[in-house]
Amino acid sequence: MTDDRTYAFRRATPDDLPMLRLWLAATRVARWWDDEDPFDDEDLADKGFRAWIVSHEGRAFGYVQDYDVHGWPDHPFTFLPAGSRGIDLFIGPEDMAGQGHGSGLIRAFSDWLLAGGAPSVGADPHPSNAGSIAAFAKAGFQPAGQPQDGPHGRYLPMVRVTRPPERDG
């Protein structure tokens, strides 16, 4: 599958909580998402990150959050320049996984962050999550070091710094 798809991103609201909890309950997602008490109203109101619902052709199918990597003193991406964003995401419905949507939404969302002025975007997939690492690589992210242990478990630091090309018209 190609990444030339159209994705829509809207802010997550409390009305999305049942859907997010259902998605997080899937073994395929829960295996990699380290939140023991997944999503509540306080999480969505947290000023430390922005939560988004991802849709394709009008169907909600994913979650992505972005945050200032310098918002936490011990964050593993504090080596990135000021204004850099970190992202975490997952695809909810089983039938949307493995279809190329991961790399497509990662590219679209990181394009948007970079076009908005972020000098770089960081991601921290688990080193054993080959599908996630491949999706980030296909979306233009590159490893920024060896696998490491951090406050949320083991991760492979990956960074995208390339801005999308300017479009005419």
Identify the pLDDT of residue 95: 72
For 135-166, give one letter per residue: b (16+ CB within 10 A) or e.
bbbbbbbeebeeeeeeeeeebbbbbbbebeee
Identify the pLDDT of residue 112: 93
Identify the pLDDT of residue 73: 79
pLDDT at residue 111 tops 90: yes
> What whole-number distance in Å separates Cα of residue 163 and Cα of residue 165?
6
Identify the pLDDT of residue 120: 95
Identify the pLDDT of residue 146: 93
> What whole-number distance in Å separates Cα of residue 16 and Cα of residue 41?
10
For residues 69 and 119, the answer to whether their CB atoms sit within 8 Å is: no
Identify the pLDDT of residue 99: 73
Structural domain boundaries in the chain = 7-160
Identify the pLDDT of residue 169: 45
Which SS3 state, helix, strand or coil, does residue 142 take? strand
- Over pLDDT 70: what percentage of the chain? 86
For residues 9 and 60, the answer to whether their CB atoms sit within 8 Å is: no
pLDDT band at 37 (very low <50, low <70, confident <90, very high): low
pLDDT at residue 60 tops 60: yes
Identify the pLDDT of residue 113: 94
pLDDT at residue 165 tops 60: no
Q: What one-character DSSP code corresponds to residue 14? A: G
* Region 159-167 average pLDDT: 70
* Region 54-70 average pLDDT: 91
CATH topology of domain 7-160: Aminopeptidase (3.40.630)
pLDDT band at 5 (very low <50, low <70, confident <90, very high): low
> What whole-number distance in Å separates Cα of residue 104 and Cα of residue 90?
12
pLDDT 10s digits, 68-77: 999 887 888 8
* Region 124-134 average pLDDT: 91
Residue 17 burial (CB < 10 Å; 0-12/13-18/19+)? middle
For residues 96 and 54, the answer to whether their CB atoms sit within 8 Å is: no
